[in-house]
């Protein structure tokens, strides 16, 4: 069974940093491109970032480009999201997602909440 | 980026009735559209992909249709467990984008 478990969320001050982790199991992690998606409280879903299976290629939404960095450690079956220069607009539930090769999001973690506030 | 617009924002339906949710793309996404259901405190769950293919384990009362820019999710006879928020998602163009959601509530 595919499981994605996010951690690392919490309360951080504006301008601060946080690193999120996503521990994956139930599939061959090193074979799959992985993604981060977020959802602000009471709002819709927003794509954030993608990393290929070997970490060789990454993509970012314009809203986080230059501030967030996606990475992975295939030896630990773990996906990361380093978030810097956080603003209140980054307050959201952050999901780790495994996508089908054709594009739709099949497996979602339970999310980890990031709150940016002074 | 492609803007996905869902309507209505809220749909009030009685159990057993039919619900029809709409999703419009700002440009063609072919059939590269998915629908998700989200209940409070839960992650989204994939319902439909390829505009009309039900995901594994999804009941037949859920159906999707459309292509290009106009899509519909129909729930033929609403059950109590179907009251939730529904999102559409285009994966035809990068970046992938989502609609703002339709909340299906009990009338």
Check CB contact under 8 Å for A105 and B94: no
Helix, strand, coil % in chain A, rounded to nearest 5: 5, 50, 45
Are B32 and A103 in contact (CB < 8 Å)? yes
In this structure, chain B runs to a length of 107
Q: How confident is the model at residue B79 (pLDDT cuts 50, 70, 90)?
A: very high
- Position B107 scores a pLDDT of 87
**Would you state the pLDDT for residue A102?**
86
φ, ψ at A116 (rounded to 5°):
-110, 110
Instruction: Please check whether residue A27 touches B, CB under 8 A.
Output: no
DSSP code of residue A31? G
- How many H-runs (helices) and E-runs (strands) does chain A carry? 0, 11
CB B92 within 8 A of CB B32: yes
Which pLDDT tens digit goes with each residue over A7-39? 999 999 999 999 999 999 999 999 999 999 999
Under the banding of pLDDT at 50, 70 and 90, the label for residue B60 is very high
Q: Which two tokens stand for residue B57?
A: 């384990």
Q: Do B68 and B28 meet the contact criterion of CB atoms below 8 Å apart? A: yes
Query: Tokens at residue B71, please?
Result: 């899509």
Spell out which residues of chain A touch residue B92, defining contact as CB-CB under 8 Å.
103
Residue B84 has pLDDT above 90, yes or no: yes
Q: Do the Cβ atoms of B96 and A44 come within 8 Å?
A: no
Residue A106 is predicted with a pLDDT of 87
Name the residue among B5, B4, B6, B15 with its Cα closest to residue B105: B15
pLDDT category of residue B54 using cuts at 50, 70 and 90: very high
What are the tens digits of pLDDT across the range A52-109? 999 999 999 999 999 999 999 999 999 999 999 999 999 999 999 999 888 899 899 9
How far from B11 is each of A53, B48, B74, B78, B83, CA to CA, in Å?
40, 19, 12, 12, 10
* pLDDT of res. B105: 95
CB proximity A68 to B under 8 Å: no
- Give the per-residue pLDDT at A70: 98
Residue of A nearest to B101 (CA): A44
Cβ neighbours of residue B91 closer than 8 Å, sequence gap 6 or more: A102, A103, A104, B29, B32, B33, B34
Give the rounded percent of residues in chain B with a pLDDT score beyond 90.
96
Question: Which pLDDT score is estimated for A83?
Answer: 98
């Amino acid at each position: 069974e595919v499981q994605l478990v996010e951690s690392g969320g919490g309360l951080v001050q504006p301008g601060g940093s946080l690193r999120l982790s996503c521990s994956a199991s139930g599939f061959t992690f090193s074979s799959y491109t992985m993604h981060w998606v977020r959802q602000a409280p009471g709002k819709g879903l927003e794509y954030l970032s993608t990393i290929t299976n070997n970490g060789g290629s990454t993509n970012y939404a314009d809203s986080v480009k230059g501030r967030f960095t996606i990475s992975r450690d295939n030896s630990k079956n773990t996906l990361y999201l380093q978030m810097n220069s956080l603003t209140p607009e980054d307050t959201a539930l952050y999901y780790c997602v495994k996508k089908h090769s054709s594009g739709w999001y099949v497996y979602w973690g339970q999310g980890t909440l990031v709150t940016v506030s002074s | 980026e492609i803007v996905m617009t869902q309507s209505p924002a809220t749909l009030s339906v009685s159990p057993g009735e039919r619900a029809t949710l709409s999703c419009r793309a700002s440009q063609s996404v072919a059939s590269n559209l998915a629908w998700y259901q989200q209940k409070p405190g839960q992650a989204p769950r994939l319902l439909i992909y390829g505009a009309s293919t039900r995901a594994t384990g999804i009941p037949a009362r859920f159906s999707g249709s459309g292509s290009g820019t106009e899509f519909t999710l129909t729930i033929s006879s609403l059950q109590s467990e179907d009251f939730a928020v529904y999102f559409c998602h285009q994966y035809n163009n990068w970046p992938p984008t989502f609609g703002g959601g339709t909340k299906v509530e009990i009338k």
